[in-house]
Structure 1
């Protein structure tokens, strides 16, 4: 049986880089309503702040399905309590296989490890599938917490603390 494996990974490994390129290609192509060029993808990824997605300022995660790089996502600590979900992406061939929920779960867990008690995100209105995913996983619409040309709607979710029980209790 094919299964998912997800783990923190550096943003600049070959798998992470290819996933980040695919992510940018998809969101840019949908925005422009035409295929993005390689040059546009390169420009979009240049100085995009991905280097902050490493502890203690963030984390980047890659997911593999049946050994193939299939998903990625990141989180960026905005302050001591809030983490921003960013670059959440599943390659189209791997959608509908349960990986998106697992990816969000791991990113939320990684955010808790960095001290976050709340996850926020911003997205575009045309990214309907992503918005549906966030709502299904407990994210609720909030007032804008940031500005930018692609910030059209914002969501947040309070992260429940991880409960640890002692043996025998």
Structure 2
């Protein structure tokens, strides 16, 4: 990555932190820092689990605890153990906290108005459109992908969501028992690999690779949560699986897909997969694809 690109990102960060008042200990003139104010926003009127707050705000547990104690000392928040599970701590706004939340909300709206007011209509539209794109790309950059146990609860939740979606989208439903197998034991080394994508501490996508013969493998269980689509995650998952395939010495990858999954077919075609004759008897497959030269990086 070149230095000019990095410097432009740094300049953008400096301008944003200045304009939104992130450098002040009196954010929105409410007598507290942006960190404390943002935590109040995240707790919100419904309250939130401390573990969820830590993931959503990407804070270490020690710093989050200090922020919560500061808000408790101000009488704005109370933190209690869960009634069903004592290991779960939940933060809620007090009556004073709800009043403060409303004041912060008004101040935040006023700040947004001040940013937009000096601009003409077309400039406002350009700014908001650019902000939306920046937000989308920042979320994409926050996604992590890593090898996971396909039998773990979060992996099984993703696979169950994948199956449920196919049941709804396929013309005649979907029964994984009638399809080509991709059991957990087939998706762990050396038989294969399973990858999870995570955002804000939540598994939002998955993909599996199954070794089918020496030097050959098959892509299975590719899925992205509906609320995470449009972030380029399918592309990243596919690239991750191909990298694992290359490391495992698999030079040829195959996969099949249903006619209803037009977005999946487009993904494979633009990544060098070519449509081939059926290589299995999967009753749900309408298209079969193959990519050669994976181990060589082609």
**What TM-score results when the alignment is normalised by the length of structure 1?**
0.83
CA contact (8 A) 1:123 1:150 kept: yes
Q: How far apart, in 2, do the equivalents of 1:78 and 1:55 lie?
A: 13
* Alignment-derived partner of residue 254 in structure 2: 120
**Cα RMSD for the two superposed structures:** 2.4
Identify which of 196, 205, 214 aligns with 1:80: 214
* Alignment-derived partner of residue 161 in structure 1: 296
Which protein is bigger by CA-based radius of gyration? 2
Uncovered stretches (5+) of structure 2, i.e. residues with no partner: 1-137
Identify which of 236, 250, 253 aligns with 1:102: 236
**What TM-score results when the alignment is normalised by the length of structure 2?**
0.49
1:15 aligns with 2:149: no
CA contact (8 A) 1:55 1:114 kept: no
Q: Deviations over 1:82-133 (max 9, x none)?
A: 1100100001111110111110011001111222001100111111111111
Q: How far apart, in 1, do the equivalents of 2:208 and 2:264 lie?
A: 14
1:25 aligns with 2:164: yes
Q: Secondary structure at the match of 2:170?
A: helix
Once the two structures are TM-superposed, the CA of residue 67 in structure 1 deviates from its matched residue by 2.6
Q: Secondary structure at the match of 1:130?
A: helix
Give the 3 Å change call, closer, same or farther, for CA 16–32 of structure 1 in structure 2: same
Give the 3 Å change call, closer, same or farther, for CA 48–98 of structure 1 in structure 2: closer
Uncovered stretches (5+) of structure 1, i.e. residues with no partner: 164-169
* Alignment-derived partner of residue 6 in structure 1: 145
* Alignment-derived partner of residue 117 in structure 2: none
* Alignment-derived partner of residue 167 in structure 1: none
Q: Deviations over 1:38-74 (max 9, x none)?
A: xx78x789x8523211111111100012332111000
Q: How far apart, in 2, do the equivalents of 1:137 and 1:88 lie?
A: 15
Q: How far apart, in 2, do the equivalents of 1:122 and 1:140 lie?
A: 11
Aligned length: 157
Structure 1 stretches of at least 4 aligned residues deviating more than 6 Å after TM superposition: none
Q: Secondary structure at the match of 1:85?
A: strand
Structure 1 or 2: more strand by fraction: 1
CA contact (8 A) 2:257 2:285 kept: yes
CA contact (8 A) 1:120 1:155 kept: yes
